[in-house]
Amino acid sequence: MRVLYDGRVEEYRAVWMEGKKIKCIDQRVLPENFVIREIKNTDEACKAIKSMMVRGAPTIGATAAYAMAQAYLLGEDLAKTANALKKTRPTAHDLFHAIDLVLNSSDPVEEAEKYVESIVERCRLIGKHGESLLNDHAHILTHCNAGALASVDIGTALAPIRMAHYSGKSLHVYVDETRPRLQGARLTAWELKNEGIEHTIIADNAAGYYMWKGKIDIVIVGADRVACNGDVANKVGTLEKAVIAKEFGVKFYVAFPSSTVDPKAKFGAEIPIEERDEKEVLEIAGTRIAPEGSRAKNPAFDITPAKYIDGYITEYGIIDACGIKKFITHLVAKTK
Ligand code: MRU
């Protein structure tokens, strides 16, 4: 991804490996600070994923794949590393998919590199297919950060936007701030700014107003896990955007690589939803905003039923709502 840093333009990935060390952009401190961290062992890899130093389903998967490769290079017990990594965040399917791929391979280092390259290539294809949905002067709404930070490079929901921008289309992106962790305001806006793509950050609860006003042509979001019937788990708040989009006739698309499809989840209700610390809701930047004694709930994701989704942008092309079950059945059969 293009990063403007210290007056220079540089290319970075969200996570990569150098020798026995994993390196990553610390997503907790963006956009104020651009810091590269080193992950030296399984414990640090688990902490990086849990604390959201690295985040977004494909980037979590890539970090876990590298952590398995690192454990192999350090002569550690791979089954133990796999178990520890699987306990970090429960919703992103890519995490479990990536760990099992590397665990079952004869060359964990080569497998991890191959896996990460395949994620980047899938994102490129998502961008290539998804670009056709964006007309010149399109106004797009996105939720959370499904950009390069979340998927090693290029992005899932942001991939069609990047590609359309590169091919000279003029776009405007409405960026949901995405409470409580503000991935939209902090990370998506940072990526769009680095690319020079016009954007406006809106409070999460303003999205309905802009759809009602006819300001939004299309919604594109990412996914953390896709069930076999096309239901989608994504950042909490996605569900209400999808329902409102349907009400106002705004097309709603979900972009994801096939590694996000969970062949074991028949319906969205079978997807585990991460509950995070209530402090993330009760505090902003470490300062309490709620009365002492008030409690909060903090589900990190919600489920958008397939009936609210107009289409799915994958590395294989754009799948319409009617075709998604058949597509997933083929996909699952192919990977068995
Ligand atoms: O809690 P996060 O920041 O890891 O959640 C990320 C999302 O919900 C993204 O939309 C999703 O992982 C898709 S990323 C390409």
236 C-alpha to ligand 1 centroid (Å): 10
Q: Determine whether 217 is an active site residue.
A: no
**What would the pLDDT profile of 301-333 be if each residue is shown by its tens digit?**
999 999 999 999 999 999 999 999 999 999 989
Question: Token pair for residue 214?
Answer: 């006819």
Locate the ligand 1 atom nearest the alpha carbon of residue 60 and give its number.
4
Of 229, 231, 206, nearest in space to 302 by CA? 231
Using an 8 Å Cβ cutoff, are 150 and 190 in contact?
A: no
**DSSP string of 5-62?**
ETTEEEE--SEEEETTEEEEE-TTSTTT---EEEE-SHHHHHHHHHTTSS-SHHHHHH
Kindly report each contact of residues 96-105 with a partner whose C-beta sits within 8 Å and lies 24 or more positions away, as own/partner. 97/61, 97/259, 98/61, 98/62, 98/64, 98/65, 98/68, 98/259, 99/64, 99/65, 99/68, 101/65, 102/64, 102/65, 102/68, 102/69, 102/78, 103/68, 103/78, 103/79
- Split at pLDDT 50, 70, 90, the class of 112 is very high
Domains of the chain: residue spans and CATH = 2-122 (1.20.120.420), 128-335 (3.40.50.10470)
Residues 139, 172: contact at Cβ < 8 Å? yes
What is the pLDDT confidence band of residue 335, given thresholds at 50, 70 and 90?
confident
Ligand 1 centroid – CA 57 distance (Å) = 5
CA-CA distance, 274 to 57, in Å (whole number)?
A: 13
Q: What is the tens place of the pLDDT at every residue in 254-293?
A: 999 999 999 999 999 999 999 999 999 999 989 999 999 9
336 has pLDDT over 90: no
Centre of ligand 1 from the C-alpha of residue 168, in Å: 27
* Atom of ligand 1 lying closest to residue 183 CA: 3
Bridge partner list, 15: 24
Residue of 59, 145, 153, 226 to test ligand 1 pocket, by largest number of atoms within 8 Å of CB? 145
Q: How remote is the CA of residue 255 from the centroid of ligand 1, in Å?
A: 11
Beta bridge partners of 221: 254
Cα end-to-end span (Å), the chain:
33
Question: What is the rounded CA–CA span in Å between residue 254 and residue 264?
Answer: 20
pLDDT, one tens digit per residue, over 27-48 is 999 999 999 999 999 999 999 9
Catalytic residue among 176, 224, 262, 302: 224
Q: Measuring from each residue's beta carbon to the nearest atom of ligand 1, which residues come in under 6 Å?
A: 55-58, 92, 144, 146, 150-151, 156, 183, 222-224, 234-235, 300
Q: Which residue has the tokens 């306990």?
A: 87
Name the maximum alpha-carbon separation found in the chain: 59
The pLDDT tens digits for 174-232 are: 999 999 999 999 999 999 999 999 999 999 999 999 999 999 999 999 999 999 999 99
Please identify, by atom number, the ligand 1 atom nearest to the C-alpha of residue 274. Answer: 1
Q: Which residue's alpha carbon is nearest to atom 6 within ligand 1?
A: 56
